[in-house]
Amino acid sequence: APPPRALLQVAALERQIFDFLGYQWAPILANFLHIMAVILGIFGTIQYRSRYLMMYAVWLVLWVGWNAFIICFYLEVGRLSQDRDFIMTFNTSLHRSWWMENGPGCLVTPVLNSNLAPEDHHVITVSGCLLDYQYIEVVSSATQIFLALFGFVYACYVSKVFLEEEDSFDFIGGFDSYGYQAPQKTSHLQLQPLYT
């Protein structure tokens, strides 16, 4: 596979792993669709299918939009709030980003006997992080946007090349359509009736 798509695949798999660890169901679904789209793009490249590459390019536009939303969500742009919106888990649980408790340098301390915790949950304090989890998620999404923009340009270029090759190929006469002449009938090849 070409390097850009291989890099996209590795980045998508990395993202999928950390979203699974944090029970982030919306990103898990989006990452799964992205992995399928990358596979479709690789298949389109290998099989010289420009339609698959165009579908892949359309998906990358949606992927950029999704990652822009994630950046806005973690930076709490507008009315988005991580404290009250559980969009990433489809409002099914109180889970947060895996990086919240496992970021670089983070020290997690459980708060015992807290009345703030719902049933089957615990309250923690996180301190000492070298980089807050919101910024790790933002950097991850920004990287995905950068790779998607690069992949979009690459997919459009390769698709254009494939379409030009299809247009220049004459299936009857080969590549040289101007030099093609239909076979001429000769008198000795004409069909003669057969009498028995």
Task: Tell me if 48 is assigned to some domain.
Answer: yes
22 vs 127: CA distance, rounded Å: 19
User: How many domains, the chain?
Assistant: 1
More confident residue, 63 or 192: 63
Q: For 115-165, how does the pLDDT look when each residue is reduced to its tens digit (9 = 90+)?
A: 655 555 556 667 777 888 788 889 989 999 998 998 899 888 888 888 887
Both structure tokens of 33? 């669709």
Task: Tell me if 190 is assigned to some domain.
Answer: no
DSSP 8-state secondary structure symbol assigned to residue 182 = P
Q: What does the buried/exposed string (b/e) look like for 124-145 if buried means 16 or more CB atoms within 10 Å of the residue's CB?
A: eebeebeeebbebbbebbeebb
Q: For 70-127, how does the pLDDT look when each residue is reduced to its tens digit (9 = 90+)?
A: 898 888 888 776 665 566 766 665 567 777 777 787 777 777 665 655 555 556 667 7
One DSSP character per residue, 137-181 reads HHHHHHHHHHHHHHHHHHHHHHHHHHHHHHHH-BTTTBT-SSS--
Task: Tell me if 92 is assigned to some domain.
Answer: no
Task: Tell me if 10 is assigned to some domain.
Answer: yes
More confident residue, 53 or 108: 53
> Which pLDDT does position 2 carry in this prediction?
47
Task: Tell me if 125 is assigned to some domain.
Answer: no
CB 104 within 8 A of CB 131: yes
> Which pLDDT does position 27 carry in this prediction?
84
Q: Is the pLDDT of residue 60 over 90?
A: yes
Please report, for residues 36, 61, 119, 147, 151, the alpha-carbon distance to residue 58 in angstroms, rounded to integers and kept in the order given: 13, 5, 43, 14, 11
> Which pLDDT does position 62 carry in this prediction?
95
Say which residue the tokens 């992080």 belong to. Answer: 129
Task: Tell me if 183 is assigned to some domain.
Answer: no
Task: Tell me if 196 is assigned to some domain.
Answer: no
Q: Which of 136-140, 173-177, 182-186 has the lowest mean pLDDT?
A: 173-177
Domain range for 70: 4-77+132-176
Residue 66 banded pLDDT, cuts 50, 70, 90: very high
Mean local confidence (pLDDT), 176-184: 53
Task: Tell me if 110 is assigned to some domain.
Answer: no
> Which pLDDT does position 195 carry in this prediction?
73
Q: Whole-model pTM?
A: 0.68
CB 139 within 8 A of CB 158: no
